[in-house]
Amino acid sequence: MKRPAVIFLSGTALLLVVVLRGILDPSVDRLPGIDSGNLYAWEVYTRSVLADWKLPFWNPYHFAGTPHLADPQTTVLYPPAMLLRWLPVPAFLGWMLAVHLWIAGAGTLFAARAIGAGWIAASAAAVAVMLGGSVSGWIHGGHLLLIYSAAWVPWALGLAFVSVRSGRMVPDGRLVAVLVLQFLTGYLQGSLYVAAAVAWYFVFSALWPPFARRASQGAPHVSDDVHGTRVRRWSPLAQLALLGVLCAGVAAFQLLPTAVLVAEAGRSGGLPYREALDGSWQVKDLATLVFPFYGLAEDAPYRMLPDRLAYVGWILIAFSPFAFFTRERLRLAVFLATLVGVVLVVALGDAGGLFRIHYALFPGLRVPGRILFLATAGLALLGALGLEAFVSLATRREWIRIAVPAAIAGIAGSVAAYAVFGASPPAIPPVHGWPWIPILLVGALVTIVASGMSGWRRLALATALAAVVLDLTTLSLGAVGTIPIETEAEIRRWIGPPAGGRAISLCEHRISAREFLQNREPTLDGLPGLHLRDYADWAFIAKSGDVPPGGGLYHRIGGEGDQPARRDLIDMANVSRIVACTHGPDGRLSGMDIQRNAGSWPRAVWICGAEEVSRREAIARIIRGRYDASGRLQPRHYIKLRWAASVRDARRAELERSHHLQDGVVVEGVTFKYLLGDATLDAVLAIMRDPEVEDTHGVDRATGAFMPTDELLDSIPVITGDDTRTMLPTTAACPGQAHVDVRVMDQPDGRVVAQVDAPAAGHVFFSEPYYTERRASVDGQRVPMLKANLTFTAVPVPAGRHEVELRYRPSSFYLGSLISGATAAGYAFVAVRRQRRKQR
């Protein structure tokens, strides 16, 4: 390794220790960032299973049970995470953050050298990527997965430059490794963006081929010169095709399980366009390229910065136009400019126009600003090229070639300044360290220009590097913060030990899914991840009693004090206790109110009869009906009544009691919607004949018969291509009662075992989410597993005494592991043979 690289890597490591010193102490039980508790809980669970020398395929504690390893956000098999798991979890997260920022800096140094930048300019770009863009917002918000993902972007771009320049058909093996590592970081949206950026460079190189690297040139310094033989046009396309095959093959051990999970996840059904558009830029937000706090009105701006910035500092932005005025760098400058331009247009949402295409291709992705991390890398590399170009032009006294980019930079800066200060004073200073940092940066710009024109090349570049370090370090220092975590003993003191069933929290700001997992207590809610679509629909019904919106997002059953509307659904899901807050006279939290749920069903019950219906029909019936204690879905009927104008509130309440009208809700004026407590013909006719009832809807006024209502069914969103069926229990009388004893549950392999003694053939209903890779067996023999009650699982069993078992069988992981091993071995064999031929 060359001496400048050693100096840079050592210096950036020291810089990161200084910036992040508050989160790197292994003895401190605090987490980096306000939302990092999600990663903390996943890591705690992962380690608890790995300690038994098992893989955590299934997480029984969240969402009533959900795939764990298949969700790459858990980073179970991510190599850097595996190497750092000897640290305590809080320190692990802090050091993962620091290591990935260092990886981002090292990768940018490599990429900048690969496009011909000198060591000092490349170091400036590296610091900009390491601490610029949305990094400060991600640190403050605890969005560590985004930092992990973005860290590999400069490596991917730099190795793509090197791979294409080689002229071979086989892509660089290091690029395959980097793209696989980037996928394993767990940020799938970021992986799609990185893959698109790398693919665009290969296509761009087919349209505008570079010159092949001469044998005398050493990697990674492979900048475009204008001599030699151009790379053949088909070579980048062949590399791209083979690159896709190799990456898919090597990553198959994680890719296949994730693909199975994504197919059943809520996001795969797509988000409403307006919801996906939330978080997009407006045209005025382009000013944040120079003024990062522009448009923010809060005293704590870092909370609003995630996915909003592509800021690389004033120095690199100011000199980036110069990158287009050197012949040797023009091709790479144009590529980086197109990359940055497309990214900014996508981030602009409707204002840019491209996001509609983005939405058509990936309707499950949201927040257009999340693509900005690619612009950060592109702008930093452009700035490095521009800085080098300016110093070279100034040293050669080429004033005319300097004038044009200088004018462009001056006009752009003036427009941004006018947008920020011209109309009205900003609510808060638009730049960190106001006003001293802007003054120092302007002074640095003057020094760079004067030094360059005087021929003092090293002074100009060193000043630029110092200014970038000062600018981005000051920005990041204000973002670093930590949050406390509760120990398991403290959580146990608040809510006590698990009660044997599941739990929900009505005090989520104090006890959430994270604390339940630490307490080893399963809950119906969970941490943000790849939740199952049908389970999300069921959870919405349980919480609100209404038709699920089908928007791809999960709506929690718990909350802050509001009881779920459908207590029967909570009962059937084996919820044995509900945690609520208690408050003192001053309104402050004083403790927990643990509500025991006497109506909780066991984890498995026997049902003598069931009917198969479509998903939409199941949703409609569940909303209209109620589950009784025997596990049967009893239909309920609703009616709308318009009371006479003379009926007052007291009289209406009396009539509601006499007619057994329940859960009255005002529809409009004096029209109410009721649940019929007594749906017999005589009771319905009595309502029809009451002179104080002017009109009804939903019942034939002549016969009292319930009219078919398609309104509810029509209001249920249709998911394209979804033809799934689900079992619902019938109301038929059973020949007797069955005895069901659940022996095993809440295991990391998804195993649930129940002993059943049934008087007749029927089904065992498990309040365990249905998932494609779970398997059912009766007395050791595999049997069909059925989806029941919209999202749970039913297993057919014959009469008599039997052992019924559910288990998660990760066949996609085993198949993917074989494919990954075969791909890696095949590539290694080819590489060794090629090396031997070169030696001969």
Cβ(645)–Cβ(634) below 8 Å = no
User: CA 111 to CA 793: how far, in whole Å?
Assistant: 51
**CATH classification (class only), 725-809:** mainly beta
Cβ(452)–Cβ(112) below 8 Å = no
The token duo for 424 is 């009205």
User: CA 593 to CA 327: how far, in whole Å?
Assistant: 72
At residue 217, the pLDDT reads: 47
Average pLDDT (239-255) is 95
Average pLDDT (301-308) is 88
Average pLDDT (532-544) is 91
Residues forming a β-bridge with 31: 483
Average pLDDT for the chain? 88
At residue 218, the pLDDT reads: 47
327: left (phi over 0), alpha (psi -120 to 50) or beta: alpha
Which positions ≥6 away from 116 have C-beta within 8 Å? 221, 223, 224, 328, 329, 332, 385, 388
Cβ(257)–Cβ(816) below 8 Å = yes
Domain positions in the chain are 3-32+70-477, 486-600, 619-715, 725-809
- Give the pLDDT confidence of 544-568 residue by residue, as tens digits: 888 888 777 888 898 877 788 889 9
Record the pTM: 0.90
What share of residues in the chain are helix, strand, coil (percent, to 5)?
50, 15, 35
At residue 216, the pLDDT reads: 44
Q: How far is CA 21 from CA 7, 24, 25, 32, 303, in A?
A: 21, 6, 7, 11, 20
Average pLDDT (217-241) is 70
Q: Please report the DSSP string for 689-727 in residue order.
A: H-TTEEEEESB-TTT-PBPP--HHHHHSPPPTT---EEE
- Give the pLDDT confidence of 133-190 residue by residue, as tens digits: 999 999 999 999 999 999 999 999 999 999 999 888 889 999 999 999 999 999 999 9
Q: Residue 386 — very low, low, confident or very high, per pLDDT cuts 50/70/90? A: very high
At residue 279, the pLDDT reads: 85
User: Pick from 490, 488, 522, 517: which is nearest to 504 by CA?
Assistant: 522
User: Pick from 734, 775, 565, 553: which is nearest to 766 by CA?
Assistant: 775
User: Pick from 575, 555, 470: which is nearest to 508 by CA?
Assistant: 555
User: What percentage of residues in the chain have a pLDDT greater than 90?
Assistant: 52
Q: How far is CA 411 from CA 321, 453, 804, in A?
A: 11, 21, 74
User: Pick from 529, 527, 514: which is nearest to 188 by CA?
Assistant: 529
- Give the pLDDT confidence of 391-434 residue by residue, as tens digits: 988 888 888 888 898 999 999 988 888 888 876 777 788 898 88
User: CA 285 to CA 773: how far, in whole Å?
Assistant: 45
Residue 219, pLDDT > 50, answer: no
User: CA 185 to CA 152: how far, in whole Å?
Assistant: 9
Q: How far is CA 164 from CA 168, 212, 324, 342, 637, in A?
A: 8, 8, 21, 22, 68
Which positions ≥6 away from 463 have C-beta within 8 Å? 444, 447, 448, 451
Type of residue found at 478: G
Least trusted range by pLDDT, from 209-218, 523-532, 804-813: 209-218
Residue 465, pLDDT > 50, answer: yes
Residue 722, pLDDT > 80, answer: no
- Give the pLDDT confidence of 654-691 residue by residue, as tens digits: 988 888 888 787 878 888 888 787 777 888 888 888 88
Q: How far is CA 751 from CA 10, 257, 523, 787, 795, in A?
A: 49, 18, 17, 17, 14
The token duo for 86 is 């000897």
Strands 800-808 and 752-758 come out as: antiparallel
Cβ(743)–Cβ(764) below 8 Å = no
Q: Which residues of 214-230 are buried (b: 16+ CB within 10 A; e: fewer)?
A: eeeeeebebbbeeeeee
At residue 747, the pLDDT reads: 93
At residue 49, the pLDDT reads: 95
Residue 591, pLDDT > 80, answer: no
